[in-house]
Structures are given as structure tokens and as C-alpha cells.
Amino acid sequence: MSSTANSSSQTSPTRHKIVVCTDLGPTLPLLTERHDIDVVSWNEPRRCDRAWMLQNAVGASGLVVCFQNIVDREVVDAAGPNLRVVSTISVGYEHINLKVMADHGIQVGYTPDILTDAVADSAVMLALMATRRAGQSYTFVKDNQWPTFHWTPFAFCGPQISTTSFSPTRTVGFLGFGRIAHAVLKRLSAFGVTHCIYTPRPGAPDQSARDENLRSTLNLVSVAPVDLETLARKSDVLFLLAPGGEATRHLIDESFLRLMRPTSVLVNNGRGSVVDSTALAKALKEGWIWGAGLDVVEEEPQVGPEHLLVKEPKCVVLPHIGSAALETREEMARLTARNVLAGVLGERLPVGLDYSRLI
């Protein structure tokens, strides 16, 4: 069962109706405590039922969704002509049909920037876990193998991210070099990383001034754009922070992975579809690369013990928790509520998506 706040699905024609299809946590009162808004909310600790969403969308001026809620023509038709805004508690918007939004003049709110630091933290965490075999080591202790273990100098060793006097250079690579990548690079500069390479999207403008500023600010030897082949060959740790979609699907395939070093580590905090799971599992099994840290997997959420990547000892898989810091999620929810309120009241969204350039 779902629960509602302030109203049932039938509302007064003089009041705006907002349907909340996901958990807004402690920020829900920003909507429910207003006297000019009727709120219908899904409060179950699971994905909102599609049938519930369609039924309650009728007459809505605003919808609040997450990446699990598909907003397509069926939803818009169910809502009817009052629908003014769809506000998603996410950076991604692949779950929203932007062409349909444009056709109906519906604003789209989303939550970029806020999660930059939280995702950057988790990316560095995954890099450390993958390089230093944290997943294997944790399982070793949990399965009570430590008491019978015979220590040797190179047991559980992995490549080191930080530079030393006897290993003075490190190159980190990025596929997707936006705000989150810059935040990751800032954190890694404290480890003594020396070189940064990235592959820009096709047609991207020259960013040499920005790159020089990053280089000097973070005290790096170089920051430079490279082609995909060089990115594969030169990266000690490669961070995938690219958006999803057909343009990036399986960019990391068998041919790419075969170019990487046996001591290289792959970290994916972007979109699961960027990596061919079968190819990555093969690369790990056959030792083309050292390890992988994944917050996203193409097949998610259908990822369990028998998934080919979960079965690989040198692969750390987390359930898409990159932005799951309390402070970050609360601020994302707050912005989501502000976006939907602005939309139903006919105001400019605090952070709205300019979808005209995306369709």
C-alpha cells in the first residue's frame, strides 16, 4: 500500500497536485506542509508501482521521480494537460522522454553538482579497494580463512596508487572529464599523482587553458587530452564517469581492455552501459588488467552472486551508492522539492534541464 499526504488523488481545481513517486526523506514536509498544494506520496520502501503512478498522476501539476520511474508518453497522457513539471532526484535523465516533455512544454528539474563530492569520494574508495584487493581480503576474514593462513611477503599485494621515491610517477585516466572527474583528480593529487589524461567527447572545444589551470593548481606534471587507445595504454587507474546512451555504450569492450596494462585498475562510477560486462569479466579472469571497482553495472539491479563480475575475485561491485552520503542525498531531495514547487507555481526552476539541445 501507498500512503498519501494532504489529499487523495482527487484535488480541488484551485490547488496544485504533486505526485511524489519516490522517497524524499526529511524534506517531504517542504511539500506537505504547504496549504496551496495537495500531495500524494508513495511511501513504500521499494520502487513505486507503475500502476499506482499512472492512477495517481491524473490531474497532477507536478511529478517527483527517481531514475527507477520511467516518465514517457503514457505517464504524460495519464496526468493530462495540467502537468507542468517533472522533477527527478538524480543527475541522469535517461528515464525521462525529453521529446515528450518538449512536445507538451513540461519543465524537467534534476540535481547535478550536489553529488559531485560524494561520488568523487566513492570513486577514490573504489580505486583503493580494487588496487589493494580489499574485496578479497574482506571475504578472506569473513570466511574464517585467516586463522589457517600462512603469511608470505607478497600475499594480498596490489599496485599502489600513491607515488614514492622508488615509484615516482602515476597516471590517472578519465573517460568523462567534468565536475566529478575534476573532484577525483583533486583528491588524487594528495596521493602524489603526476599525470592526468582524458578522452574528450567528439566535437568538444579546446580546453587547454582549463587543463593548464588544473595542472598548476594541483601541482601535476601534465593534464592532457588523448585518444581512446592512449587512454587505455597509459592509465594506471582509469575512471569512467561518462554519461549513458548509445554514444557511449560498450566503449570499454574487449579490444579496449586488451590495450590496458596488467597492473591497471578500472573504476566505473558513471553508467554501467559504458562497460561490456562479459569483456571485463574475461579481462579480469585472464589478467589483462589488475582489478575493477564498480558502482554501476549494465545489468543492474539484476546483479547477484552468480553474476559474472561478482564471481571475479578482483572485482569490487557496489549497488550504485556513489552519492549515498546523508548530507548529499538530503540536499538532492531538497532541490528536487524546490524544482517541483517552482514548476507547478509557474516559476523558473532552480536547476532545470535545457533539453532543447538534447533532442
The residues carrying an active-site annotation are 271, 300, 320
Q: Secondary structure of 194-232 in the HEC alphabet?
A: CEEEEECCCCCCCCHHHHHHHHHHCCCCEEEECCHHHHH
Give, as one character, the DSSP assignment of residue 272. Answer: G
Q: Which residues pair with 268 in a beta bridge?
A: 240, 294
The answer to whether the beta carbons of residues 272 and 260 sit under 8 Å apart is no
Residue from 36, 34, 38 nearest 8 by CA: 38
Q: Tell me the C-alpha distance between 269 and 141, whole Å.
A: 27
Q: How far is CA 205 from the centre of its chain?
A: 24
* Sign of the alpha-carbon dihedral angle for 100, 102, 107, 109: positive
Q: 6 — alpha (psi -120 to 50), left (phi > 0) or beta?
A: left
How far apart CA 269 and CA 275 sit, in angstroms, is 11
Give the distance from CA 231 to its chain's centroid.
21
Report which of 331, 329, 305 is spatially closest to residue 317, judged by C-alpha positions.
305
First to last CA, the chain: 37
Q: In residues, how long is the chain? A: 359
Nearest to 359 by CA among 89, 71, 76, 100: 100
